């Protein structure tokens, strides 16, 4: 018999996989509920799930925080967040049903009394709301508080379920700042929660277009024969943002773009693009393949030529004049935090030997775009005069993660006319044109999966530590080699980043 989680996975469920998956009786406690992430993403996603009918009837959630709030004040706070940010429309009836199960417990992470109260609140709610003793604890808090919270959940017996009920922990990034600190955090968490009860969030894995990498690669015959070092010249993974860091100094200063984005989102994209076909989409098989590819991945040296980092200076974002990082509120005016990071990686496997993977991310760039470009080699021979193909670039498959979600294929085509001239053309699949269904937000999918015990889209402790191991040598090099290069806000990053590809006779795509 398959386990309960196997039945709930749409990719493996032997019943009609198009049916919605609905969470069983359960509740969620959010630590860090007054933070930015909870307000902008978690609370709206919970409402959206309720609106889509995917939460159980008595779904209950508890906010835990320092504020002296009554349940009603907490509900007002959540309502504001939902009205402002939910993806689905506001429905008074849905809201009322959700609000009935909303509670607030006031307290500090190091206070026995507060956690005793939380424990008795959960017992009471189990009786009143039929949550069945099934609770997920969502840690949307800085990693230096993990230890206190895990200790308290352990001390009060809240961390362990019984034979018939479950307890899980959902953890937000940043998960450490290097391999060693990530390892320590894993030890702290795993001392209290077994690994199969730990759900580490990488919200990129909850995006539809990221899951579509699996469909594109493993449901089709068209791409796989070309998906290797014989045909692929190089791969570019780009996550560009146009926003700046005003208001995020507390989290970002001293962290920087590589830790914020490359260690997690971009390395997970790399793993999905480069991994071998998993035996199934069970968490275990998926994670096994991702681990194999991360284990084989190394940064290419010398870092002076294969990496770049930058910090945005004042400039123009479209028609808006914007500040440089050092002038942003809360940042150290001498901050050396990078807001742009690029690196070159290689994967030591038969499939990928010799194919560079270029990764880049930055704030205040020309526009917001996340994409993965698989750029192919030129044909070994072309029966054309050089002039006839002078405007022909490399063939490419571009997976557009966001915005304008879709997949683009670039190849050469004859220009109409009596002469033979070959030029690049695009064949474009766009989600919004092909489907009428709207994509759910990543957090809707991931919160639901955590409640359903479906772990395929959550990185394991090993994946997290391996990702840090890939990045650590670059971070060490940067720490000992001066300040980041400046780039103007609204540009495409520092010149040193273009030099990484120019060295190999290549250029970054201008999305
Ligand atoms: C977060 C980073 O993980 O992802 C942010 O901490 C970044 O710095 C954000 O802005 C981007 O997410 P998305 O879903 O808007 O691409």
User: Which one of 51, 177, 234, 265 is the catalytic residue?
Assistant: 265
Q: Which atom of ligand 1 is nearest to the CA of 264?
A: 3
User: According to the model, what pLDDT value does residue 4 have?
Assistant: 47
* Averaged pLDDT, 456-467: 96
Residue 326 has pLDDT above 50, yes or no: yes
Q: Which two tokens stand for residue 91?
A: 């429905």
Give the side-chain half-sphere CA count within 13 A for 53. 2
User: According to the model, what pLDDT value does residue 250 have?
Assistant: 86
Find out whether the beta carbon of 48 lies less than 6 Å from any atom of ligand 1: no
Best CA proximity match to 203, nearest among 246, 245, 261:
261
Q: Which atom of ligand 1 is nearest to the CA of 207?
A: 14
Q: Which atom of ligand 1 is nearest to the CA of 173?
A: 3
Binding residues for substrate are 203, 207, 241, 260, 363
Query: What is the share, in percent, of the chain residues with pLDDT greater than 70?
Result: 96
Per-residue pLDDT band for 438 (boundaries 50, 70, 90) equals confident
User: According to the model, what pLDDT value does residue 10 have?
Assistant: 53
DSSP assignment string, 31-84: ETTTSHHIIIIIHHHHHHHHHTT-S-TT-EEEEEESS---HHHHHHHHHHHHHH
Cβ-contact 309, 474 below 8 angstroms: no
Rounded to two decimals, the pTM is: 0.94
Out of 207, 254, 260, mutate this one to test ligand 1's pocket (max ligand atoms within 8 Å of CB): namely 260
Reported as a single tens digit per residue, the pLDDT across 476-503 is: 999 999 999 999 999 999 999 999 999 9
Find out whether the beta carbon of 260 lies less than 6 Å from any atom of ligand 1: yes
Residue 55 has pLDDT above 70, yes or no: yes
Q: Which atom of ligand 1 is nearest to the CA of 265?
A: 3
- Rounded CA gap, 441 and 49, in Å? 10
Find out whether the beta carbon of 405 lies less than 6 Å from any atom of ligand 1: no
Cβ-contact 27, 429 below 8 angstroms: no
| Ligand 1 centroid from CA 411, angstroms | 32
Binding residues are 66, 173, 203, 207, 241, 260, 363
Q: Which atom of ligand 1 is nearest to the CA of 260?
A: 6
Per-residue pLDDT band for 13 (boundaries 50, 70, 90) equals low
| Ligand 1 centroid from CA 20, angstroms | 28
Find out whether the beta carbon of 202 lies less than 6 Å from any atom of ligand 1: no
Q: Which two tokens stand for residue 493?
A: 């990053």
Find out whether the beta carbon of 454 lies less than 6 Å from any atom of ligand 1: no
Sign of CA dihedral 50, 54, 56, 60: negative
Q: In degrees, to the nearest 5, what angle opens at C-alpha 44 toward C-alphas 136 and 40?
A: 100
CA separation, residue 407 to residues 222, 292, 482 (Å): 13, 26, 39
Look at ligand 1, atom 6, and give the residue with the nearest C-alpha. 260
Find out whether the beta carbon of 242 lies less than 6 Å from any atom of ligand 1: no
Look at ligand 1, atom 13, and give the residue with the nearest C-alpha. 204
Best CA proximity match to 365, nearest among 280, 257, 244, 477:
244
| Ligand 1 centroid from CA 148, angstroms | 27
Residue 510 has pLDDT above 90, yes or no: no
| Ligand 1 centroid from CA 305, angstroms | 27
Residue 1 has pLDDT above 60, yes or no: no
| Ligand 1 centroid from CA 189, angstroms | 24
Query: What is the share, in percent, of the chain residues with pLDDT greater than 90?
Result: 91
User: According to the model, what pLDDT value does residue 17 have?
Assistant: 65
Cβ-contact 47, 75 below 8 angstroms: no
Per-residue pLDDT band for 298 (boundaries 50, 70, 90) equals very high
* Averaged pLDDT, 246-257: 90
Residues 371-410: b if buried by 16+ CB within 10 A, e if exposed: bbbbbbeeeeeeeeeeebbeebebbbbbbbbbeebbbbbb
Range with the lowest mean pLDDT among 249-253, 327-331, 340-344, 452-456? 249-253
User: What is the number of other CB atoms lying within 10 angstroms of the CB of residue 326?
Assistant: 17
Residues 6+ apart with CB under 8 A from 222: none
Find out whether the beta carbon of 371 lies less than 6 Å from any atom of ligand 1: no
Query: Active-site residue 265, yes or no?
Result: yes
Look at ligand 1, atom 9, and give the residue with the nearest C-alpha. 261
Best CA proximity match to 364, nearest among 315, 319, 309:
315
Domains of the chain in sequence order:
4-172 (3.40.50.720), 206-379+398-412+457-502 (3.30.360.10)
Cβ-contact 233, 355 below 8 angstroms: yes
| Ligand 1 centroid from CA 261, angstroms | 7
Give the side-chain half-sphere CA count within 13 A for 508. 23
Q: Which atom of ligand 1 is nearest to the CA of 245?
A: 8
| Ligand 1 centroid from CA 69, angstroms | 29
Out of 37, 140, 241, 403, mutate this one to test ligand 1's pocket (max ligand atoms within 8 Å of CB): namely 241
Reported as a single tens digit per residue, the pLDDT across 123-156 is: 999 999 999 999 999 999 998 999 999 999 999 9
Find out whether the beta carbon of 172 lies less than 6 Å from any atom of ligand 1: no
């Amino acid at each position: 018999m398959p386990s309960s989680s196997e039945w709930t996975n749409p990719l493996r469920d032997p019943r009609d996989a198009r049916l919605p998956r609905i969470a069983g009786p359960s509740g969620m406690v959010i630590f860090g509920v007054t933070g930015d992430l909870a307000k902008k993403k978690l609370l709206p996603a919970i409402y959206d799930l309720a609106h889509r009918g995917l939460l159980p009837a008595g779904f209950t959630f508890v906010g835990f925080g320092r504020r002296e709030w009554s349940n009603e004040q907490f509900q007002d706070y959540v309502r504001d967040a939902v009205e402002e940010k939910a993806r689905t429309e506001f429905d008074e009836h849905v809201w009322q049903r959700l609000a009935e199960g909303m509670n607030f417990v006031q307290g500090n992470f190091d206070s026995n009394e507060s956690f005793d109260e939380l424990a008795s609140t959960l017992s009471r709610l189990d009786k009143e709301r039929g949550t069945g003793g099934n609770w997920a604890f969502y840690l949307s808090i800085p990693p230096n508080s993990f230890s206190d919270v895990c200790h308290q959940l352990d001390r009060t017996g809240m961390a362990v379920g019984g034979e018939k009920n479950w307890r899980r922990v959902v953890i937000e990034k940043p998960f450490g700042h290097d391999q060693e600190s990530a390892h320590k955090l894993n030890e702290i968490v795993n001392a209290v929660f077994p690994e199969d009860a730990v759900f580490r969030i990488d919200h990129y894995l909850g995006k539809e277009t990221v899951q579509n990498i699996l469909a594109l690669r493993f449901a089709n015959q068209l791409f796989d024969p070309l998906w290797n070092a014989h045909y692929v010249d190089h791969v570019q993974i780009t996550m560009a943002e146009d926003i700046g860091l005003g208001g995020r100094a507390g989290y970002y200063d001293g962290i920087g773009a590589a830790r914020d984005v490359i260690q997690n989102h971009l390395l997970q994209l790399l793993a999905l693009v480069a991994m071998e076909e998993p035996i199934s989409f069970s968490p275990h098989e998926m994670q096994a393949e991702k681990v194999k590819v991360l284990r084989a991945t190394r940064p290419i040296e010398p870092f002076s030529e294969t990496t770049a980092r930058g910090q945005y200076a004042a400039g123009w974002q479209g028609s808006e004049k914007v500040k440089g990082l050092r002038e942003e509120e809360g940042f150290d005016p001498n901050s050396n935090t990078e807001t742009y990071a690029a690196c070159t990686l290689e994967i030591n496997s038969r499939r990928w030997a010799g194919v560079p993977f270029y990764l880049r991310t930055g704030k205040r760039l020309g526009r917001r775009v996340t994409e993965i470009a698989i750029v192919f080699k030129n044909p070994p021979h072309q029966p054309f005069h050089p002039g006839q193909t002078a405007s022909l670039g490399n063939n490419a498959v571009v997976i557009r993660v966001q915005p304008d979600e879709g997949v683009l294929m670039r190849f050469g085509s004859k220009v109409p006319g009596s002469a033979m001239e070959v030029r690049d053309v695009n064949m474009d699949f766009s989600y919004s044109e092909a489907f009428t269904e709207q994509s759910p937000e990543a957090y809707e999918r991931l919160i639901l999966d955590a409640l359903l015990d479906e772990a395929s889209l959550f990185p394991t402790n090993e994946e997290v530590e391996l990702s840090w191991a890939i990045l650590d040598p670059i971070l060490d090099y940067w720490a000992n080699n001066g300040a980041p290069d400046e780039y103007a806000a609204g540009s495409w990053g520092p010149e040193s980043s273009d030099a990484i590809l120019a060295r190999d006779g290549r250029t970054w795509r201008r999305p």
